Amino acid sequence: MFKTIKARYNKGYIRLDQLKRYCELGVITPAQFKDICGKEYVADEG
């Protein structure tokens, strides 16, 4: 699933907020999140 999400993100089919949601749901790990977009994953407070 990681490869598919990364490819879709790179093509612009997935936005950053959607990528963050995949991480929240456990589809990708925070390390994979960083690998895909180059940013650290920070969970929303609340």
Quick check: is 22 in a domain? Answer: yes
Asked if the structure places residue 46 within a domain, the reply is no
What is the pTM assigned to this prediction?
A: 0.89
Count of domains in the chain? Answer: 1
**pLDDT tens sequence for the chain (46 residues):** 999 999 999 999 999 999 999 999 999 999 999 999 999 999 877 6
> How many other C-beta atoms can be found within 10 angstroms of the C-beta atom of residue 34?
14
**Domain assignment of residue 27, yes or no:** yes
3-state secondary structure the chain: CHHHHHHHHHCCCCCHHHHHHHHHCCCCCHHHHHHHHCCCCCCCCC
Domain with 29 in it: 2-37
Query: Is residue 44 one of the residues assigned to a domain?
Result: no
